[in-house]
Structure 1
């Protein structure tokens, strides 16, 4: 066991600073699309009235280990995106742009390279005091693809292309650890935890 620990390549905890480019929320609870707003009010339940808000949610296709519709902790209160990754997805899909609101984004952060690869347990600490805990990367789904396809009626197959072309570029999902207000333009610091690759002994 000691030898295994000694062989670990441990990357120390570190910090990364970026800036909030945009905040968005739904116009009505059942709407998938989100729209730019002046500020984002976060409670422990997420965004009040948002379709992804709440302390719990029901399992779906992402949780094959539970029967569909099982009530579970809601670790997907917020969708966090990056402008450069949205641009790369658009390039891969051969469309002129991809707006964060088309795929239900809530917080767009610039200045953090490879945002979608930021590891779970990272704390996003916003200058105004709000803290969002990262659960992990957001696996792209066909629902978001359909929303994109609706913007380009002259193109076919975009709904199926998005899940394939947006993998590890679709941003992060997270939950509110400390309530507060997030404003466009404010600084945000990612407190990235110590990391290593877990590999069972052979």
Structure 2
């Protein structure tokens, strides 16, 4: 068995895990045929995500985010839900010279309130909802041109293409998170959340 030397064991700086308190400020779901969402009072979740939702399913098809697979390869759906923060969207809107960016324009399912720098929560963070649902964070939601096109349409941008392309630049690391259902159930608007942030370290081999 390979033994680690004391120097190897202490090479990484470990940041302890912590717990945060948050709230599901608003909930949204998407029709099965379009990624934009609309406000709902509750989300009924199974292991395949939101029933009937555009991003529902235990598997999905790979796209531009997965260049290591041929486009359209069936893979695990770790993007069942999109989580955003109102304060981060306000920053993106300001950067783009807009009055606002509504969560539903970019396909958000939950607006999370009370977590500073929501988009920086690490992969593996767990969200325990008061009524029993658990979501597991997969990672940051990379901003894309499709969401930018939706924003351009809603604000009636004079230069539609320029606005669509501006969003990915201005929303980098502020687009929120994607997560999947670890424990199913029903999430209700205003529900309290206990967030468990795992230990963190930078891997440097």
TM-score class, shorter-chain normalisation, is over 0.9
Alignment coverage as a number of residue pairs: 199
Q: Which position in structure 2 is the counterpart of 1:146?
A: 149
Q: Would the alpha carbon gap of residues 183 and 9 (structure 1) be closer, same or farther in structure 2, given more than 3 Å must change?
A: same
In the alignment, what sits opposite 1:18? Answer: 22
Aligned to 2:79, what secondary structure does the other structure show? Answer: coil
Note the C-alpha offset of 1:152: 1.8
Query: Which whole-Å deviations, capped at 9, do the CAs of 1:160-201 have from their partners, x for residues lacking one?
Result: 00000000000000100000111111111111111100011x
Superimposed CA distance per residue, residues 90-140 of structure 1 (whole angstroms, 9 cap, x where no aligned partner): 111110001000000001101100000000011111111100000000000
CA RMSD of aligned residues (A): 0.8
1:46 to 25, 46, 49: 49
Query: Which of 161, 167, 170 in structure 2 is aligned with 1:165?
Result: 170
Q: Which 4+ residue blocks in structure 1 deviate beyond 6 angstroms?
A: none
Q: Which of the residues 80, 83, 93 maps onto 2:83?
A: 80
Q: Which residue of 2 aligns with 1:110?
A: 113
Q: 1:4 offset after TM fit, Å?
A: 2.0
Cα distance in 2 for partners of 1:47, 1:20 equals 15
Q: Distance in 2 between matches of 1:173 and 1:128?
A: 21
Is 1:99 aligned to residue 133 of structure 2? no
- After TM superposition, the score normalised by the length of structure 1 is 0.96
8 Å Cα contact 2:135-2:180 kept in structure 1:
yes
Q: Distance in 2 between matches of 1:97 and 1:185?
A: 22
TM-score scaled to structure 2, two decimals? Answer: 0.95
Secondary structure of the residue that 1:150 maps to in structure 2?
helix
Measured against aligned partners, the alpha-carbon deviations of 1:63-85 in whole angstroms (never above 9, x if no partner) come to 00000010000000000000100
| Unpaired stretches in structure 2, ≥5 consecutive residues | none
Q: How does 1:32-43 map to 2 (within 5 A)?
A: 32-43=35-46
C-alpha separation in 1, matches of 2:190 and 2:117: 20
